[in-house]
Structure 1
Amino acid sequence: MGGQLPPDMWEHWSKPYIKEIVDLVKKRCPETPIVLYINRNGGLLERMKDTGVDVIGLDWTVDIGRWKKKIG
């Protein structure tokens, strides 16, 4: 439900905890790839980049070509 939050609320209420979980998993299981998927994430993609995940999953509302150019 993270995609339902306005970006500033997501930054405050979701992102720190996502980063904490990612850091813990990477520390304990460094070879495990981590995918972050948030339904309706189009407004959060740039903010999702620095969570430490290996892959950001996109939902059907996102133009893949546009965002690939934007976030790599």
Structure 2
Amino acid sequence: MDDRLTELEIKAGFAEDLLEALNQTVFRQQQQIEQLQREVRALRQQLQESMPAESRSLRDEIPPHY
């Protein structure tokens, strides 16, 4: 009976270690996701700021020799 209890305690200890490692991984991934989201927002803002204020039609895009 003592061997079985010891085996269960060992398994529980390994499970706790694995759970902690998984929690740390998820935490790091969430930080990376949030950083990427901030970067995408900044890039979108830069793109919008660089676009001309006036809307252009496709005729404006035709080369002059046509």
Compare the two structures and name the one with the higher strand fraction: 1
Q: Which has the higher contact order (CA 8 A, sep 6+)?
A: 1
Determine which structure has the larger helix proportion and give its number: 2
